[in-house]
Structures are given as structure tokens and as C-alpha cells.
Amino acid sequence: MTARLPGNSEFLVELRDLRVHFPIRKGLVFERTIAIVKAVDGVSLSVRRGKTMGLVGESGCGKTTIGRAILQLQPLTAGEIRFDGADVAQLDPPGLKQFRRRVQAVFQDPFSSLNPRMTVGQIIAEPLVVHDVLPLAGERRRRVRQLLALCGLPGGFADRYPHEMSGGQRQRVGIARALALNPDFIVCDEAVSALDVSIQAQIIRLLEDLRDELNLTYLFIGHDLSVVRHLCDDVAVMYLGRIVEVAPSDELFSNPGHPYTRALLEAVPTPDPDLEKGREHEVLAGEVPSPINPPDGCVFHPRCPIAVPACRSRVPDLLPFGTDHEIACPETGAGGLSPSSPSLQQGV
Amino acid sequence: MSLLSVHDLELGFETPAGHVSAVNGISYTVEPGEIVAIVGESGSGKTVAAQAVLGLIPQPPGEITGGRVEFDGEDLLGFSEQQMRTIRGRRISMVFQEPMTSLNPVLSIGRQMTEAMRLHLGLTREAAEQRAVELLGLVGIADPGRRLRQYPHHLSGGMRQRVMIAIAIACEPVLIIADEPTTALDVTIQAQILALMQDLTRRLGVALVIITHNLGVVARYADRVNVMYAGRIVEQGRADSVYRRPGHPYTIGLLNSVPRLDRPRDVPIEPIPGSPPDPARLPPGCAFAPRCLHAVERCRSEVPPSISFEGGHTARCWQTAVTRPETAP
């Protein structure tokens, strides 16, 4: 196997067997570890250059931890993060600084992710100052205006404070700040979840336009499957620290393989009363188990409609399920559910 | 006679910046056993419009400046706090968005469940506890006897919302008002809770007013829908009629704003430009006019009247003859 040269790979970001475990400690003086939460437990994922990878799952599934690990905000327990062909853990300080310029983030809450004491201009210019990109104040001001315009805000907003703006405007400021250093890769962690429907649509459109215009690669972390499907080229579904299914978006949503993915899709109501009232809804029973004490075998088996006794002891690997499509469920298609089982098909 | 009928309700708040009107003359009805949705974005007034029904608007700073709220033939706005207490939690109950903040963290689940039953139904402690066990079973909580002795922090978000629903149905109300009951919950838990509420209302014949921003939830569960924008109901009607042929450009805009799983992935979404108006500075005329692509001069000066379509479906729009689609957007 030949060493890959940076910039040549089809994948911009690759995660290899990523593990993030949090010890739970007890005791003040003689502190001891009483349990371990495996927030991320063996995740491998490849994000294609110029494409958007969606990461979906319910609270506690580990999707945010993966985003934080990529952003170097969360140390790894094991595994490797490769960015543009290089192992991030092996980068020297200049390499790491370069990495931090090329990888940026947009977070969920535009209220708490902007410093209330800074003007919008200062907020957007901060990365330029920190990385010493544009040393002259005049140049920075021009760049800030350019970024505001790119994100659909008037230049006059540079002198305003976050509290003077609406939620949608604040999220635009957050995006402008993320773009300040011309990044290649942006982690969008629930970036549109806190916004009202009509404003959410504006921000989705902005993210799409910026991606096409600036050739950006996104990791889009979300829980709204309709939004994730719309925005993402590829989608990975997580449950309790593991990826249970990954496929190109069209494939995943038209031919979901894992029973959990099917249940998630079934749970999303479509804004069409005729369609909704004309079909039976199979509601997934039970709740996500505690990550402190996850079930043995397949972590989904206590809620799974097609579980067999073997699922209680066997930890399923991600295995091919058609072209570019992988699922971690040996029972799908093996007598449990066929891929085209009518009861769980989306739509009509 | 309708179970609940709200007529021209107007209410506002005194703020340091002056009087802000939150609800500008809304009217809607709820029939016995029916599921009615009030849909709108933040600041549209949907929550305060429902709180006013239960007399939960603090006055001051709030002030109800006009209208009537008729429940079972009586005007609730004329009720004293004493009289409201015989209605609230007894004949009308409420389920809130945040089960963590609406349950008291220092009281056991059992204590919180039995309190209202002892007060309203005059049950003894033993009888109330027995009923609490039955109710927890009804809302799908396993091992109810043990749960009664636990505290809210022992329960997951979905479980807490089940407890809230059990409390809401405890005194056999005829109307439940649920304000974003599942917004804080995960997708699969949201489906469980909504299916439970739908099942209970159908089985017990309780009417349900569900306040939400989720157009999918409305489509799946509601019989009728009221769309609110800037303190007014801009469209109302049977859910199927409103979704099939919406009459207000705001409703059309909302439906075009959401990506949908039942359409091809590359169907573009069409956001509504701009943002909702500041309630302290509502534009004259139609409040949606500044964002409306079809607005004409009249829209900016005169508040549009309610235009009636087939089957009791109405919309407040001057331009509806031009904008109302022949088929679903």
C-alpha cells in the first residue's frame, strides 16, 4: 500500500475506529472510576471532498462527541482522525495551526455561541486576529463586510451587538465567523435546529449556496431527518455510540436497512394529512438505554422488532448491504425484514 | 354548541418600551373530542392565546383588552381566580413543553399525581394512589408502584412527559391544552407521546388543543388547524383542506420551507424572505405583507378580512384569489 499524498484522496476527513470513553468517578479523596460511558465506540467514517456527510441519531448517541473530537475539542480514547491524508494526532504545531484554520464549526445555539460583549465585526474578525491573517485593521474591516455580504447581512451589522439581532441573523454571523479563514471543512452541529421553520429554510439555503460557491465539505450533525436528507450527500445513522447504517442519502432514505433507521423514518410525520391519516404508524417502543450500562450484543436489540435470541450476545459489524451501503444488522434480509418490506416503506 | 369558543380575543403586555399587543383579535372553536392544532412560529402569540383560556396570563404586566372565552357556555374571562381553580386541572388541563420544569423537583411523582385528585375529586390518599397507579399504567409506564415513590430526576424526558399526561387526564377533563408537548423530546419518543395522546383523547373522548410549530405533527394528528402569524389567525380550517389548498401566502410559505421525506430529495425548498415583525411595531394592514411576494398597496394599509372557502376553511388575505393554489404546494 502506498502512502497517500495530502490532497489526493477522495476523502477529506477519515475517522478510523474512533473511540471516546468518559470515566465516571466517585469519591473525593480516593477517587475511583465506577463506570465508563462509551460515548463513541468504534466509529469509522469517510467524508467525501466537497460533499456533505450527515450524522443523525437521538440524544446521547455520540454524534456531537464525534464533531468535537474532529474539532480537537475532545481527546480520543483510541482511533485516528485523518484530515486531508494526514493523521491529526501526528501534526507538528505549525501543521496543527494550519489544521485549525482549515476546520471550522457552526453550533446550534446562536445565542450562546456569540460573545455578547463583542460587536458582530469583532466576532467575525477574531479568527483573523488570532491567526494573524490580515494584520491591518482596514483589511480586516473589508473582509468582515465581504463575509457579511456573503452570508446575506448588510455591512452595517458589523457595528451591532448579538442581542440586537434575531436568531436567524445571529446564525448568519456564526457562519460568517466560521468562513473568515477560508476553511475547507465545517462541522455543523445542529446548526439549524433552534430556528423557526421559515428562518431555518433560509439558513439551509445559505449553507447549500456557500458549499457550492466555496467548495466546502460539511459534517452536518442533526436529528431532523427531513433536513439531513435534503442537505446531505451521504448519511450515517448512529445509535448508542455506534454507526448502525451508512449510505448515500438517496439510497439510505429509499432503502433503509437497519430496523432503527426504519423506525426513525417511520417516526417523522410528513406535512400531508391525506398521506398521514391513510397509513398505519408503527411506533418504536421503549427508550434509548443508558450508555453507562448498555445492553449486551446489539445495543438496539431490546427495542428491535426483528431481534432474534442471537442478537443478545452478538455485536454486529457494519457489513455491505448493496452498493456503497452498509448496515450493522445481520437479521435484515435474513428472514427478518426484507429490504422492501411493505409495512416499513416510506411514503406510499 | 362548541366546547370552547374564543371570540375576538385581544391581549397585550405592558413593557418598558410601551404596550405590546401579543394577540390581536383571534377566534377559534374546539368541539368535544376533537384535536385542534394552533401552529405558528416563535412570537406568533400561539402560547399566550392558550394561556389566556386558562387564566394563566399574569395581570399585570399582561392585560386582556377584549374578547370572550366561552367554555361550556360560560365566559371564563369573567371568572374569579377562585372559580378558575374549579376549572383548571379539573375540566381543562394542560401539558407543557418542558416536563422537567413543570414537575416539582422536590415532590415525589405520587405526591404530584395525587394532589389534584384529592383536591378536585375529593379522593382519600389511598384511593388517589390506587388511581395514580392505574393512570401510570394507562400512559405506558412499567412498574407504576415503584415510580410513584420516585422523583422527577429519576425519570427520562419521555417518561416525565408521560407523567404529565397522566396528571392531565387524572381528573377526567373534557379538554387538554398541550403546548409543544414533544418539542424537547427525541424523534422516536415524540412519536410515542403523540400516539399516546391521540389514543387517549380518542378513547376518553377528550378534546385536545395542540400548540406546535411542526407542520408534520399537525398533519398526522389534527382534525382542524389554526395558523397564527403576528398575533392573528391568518388561516383556519380542516387540516386536509388547509394542506391541500392553503389560502394564505404565509401557510404556503411555511409548507414550501420544509424539506419533505415524501418528495424527491432535489426538490428545492423555498424560504420565506425576511423575518417576522417586532410585535411592538406591527405594520398597518396585513402583518405578513412585508414578506409577501404578492402584496399590493391595499395589503400594506388595510387589515384583510376573513375570506371563506369551502367547508368552513377561511384565510385573511386580500390576494387569495391570486395566490391560492389549485393543488397542494
Q: Is residue A37 classed as helix, strand or coil in its secondary structure? A: strand
For chain B, the domain total comes to: 1
Asked if A284's CB is within 8 angstroms of B275's CB, the reply is no
* Sign for the pseudo-dihedral over CA of A159, A162, A164, A165: positive
Output helix, strand, coil percentages for chain B, rounded to the nearest 5. Answer: 40, 25, 35
Q: Tell me the pLDDT band of A30, cut-offs 50, 70 and 90.
A: confident
In-domain check, residue B307: yes
Cα B156 to chain centroid distance, Å, stands at 24
Q: In the predicted model, is pLDDT for residue A152 greater than 50? A: yes
Instruction: Output the CA angle A144-A148-A150, nearest 5 degrees.
Output: 115
For residue A204, count other CB atoms closer than 10 A to its CB.
22
Amino acid sitting at position A309: P
Cα–Cα dist B159/A179, whole Å: 41
Here the cell at position B78 is 369573567
Here the cell at position A189 is 452541529
Nearest to A196 among B41, B158, B191 (CB): B41
In-domain check, residue B134: yes
Cα–Cα dist A252/A230, whole Å: 12
pLDDT of residue B307: 93
Per-residue pLDDT of A199-230, as tens digits, reads 899 999 999 999 999 999 999 999 899 999 99
- Whether residue B230 lies within 8 A of chain A, CB to CB, comes out as no
Of A14-28, A86-100, A283-297, B292-306, give the lowest mean pLDDT range. A283-297
pLDDT of residue B99: 64
pLDDT of residue B207: 95
Which positions in chain B touch A196 (Cβ < 8 Å)?
41-42, 213, 276
Chain B interface, mutation test: which of A52, A163, A193, A268, most B Cβ atoms within 10 Å? A268
In-domain check, residue B162: yes
What number of C-beta contacts closer than 8 Å exist between A and B? 141
Please compute the mean of the pLDDT values over residues A258-274 and round it to a whole number: 92
Q: How close B77 comes to chain A (CA, Å)? A: 31
In-domain check, residue B329: no
Distances in Å between the Cα of A43 and the Cα atoms of A38, A62, A242, A328 are 11, 10, 6, 12
Cα–Cα dist A11/A234, whole Å: 12
Of the candidates A122, A156, A154, the residue with the CA atom closest to the CA atom of residue A140 = A122
Q: How close A45 comes to chain B (CA, Å)? A: 23
In-domain check, residue B309: yes
A 175-204: CB under 8 A from B: 196-202, 204
Tally the residues of chain B. 329
- The end-to-end CA distance of chain A, in Å, is 47
Please report, for the domain that includes residue B66, its CATH number: 3.40.50.300
- The end-to-end CA distance of chain B, in Å, is 34
Q: In the predicted model, is pLDDT for residue A193 greater than 90? A: no
In-domain check, residue B296: yes
In-domain check, residue B328: no
Per-residue pLDDT of B159-193, as tens digits, reads 888 898 888 888 889 999 999 888 777 888 888 88
Do you find a cis peptide bond into B61, omega within 30 degrees of 0? yes
Nearest to B271 among A205, A250, A283 (CB): A205
- Whether residue B217 lies within 8 A of chain A, CB to CB, comes out as yes
Burial class (CB in 10 A: 0-12, 13-18, 19+), A132: exposed
Asked if B275's CB is within 8 angstroms of A199's CB, the reply is yes
Distances in Å between the Cα of A236 and the Cα atoms of A56, A71, A248, A252, B195 are 6, 19, 9, 9, 27
Looking at every residue in chain A, the average pLDDT score rounds to 88
Residue B79 region by backbone torsions, left for phi larger than 0, else alpha for psi between -120 and 50, else beta: beta
| Residue-range definition of the domain harbouring residue B299 | 4-323
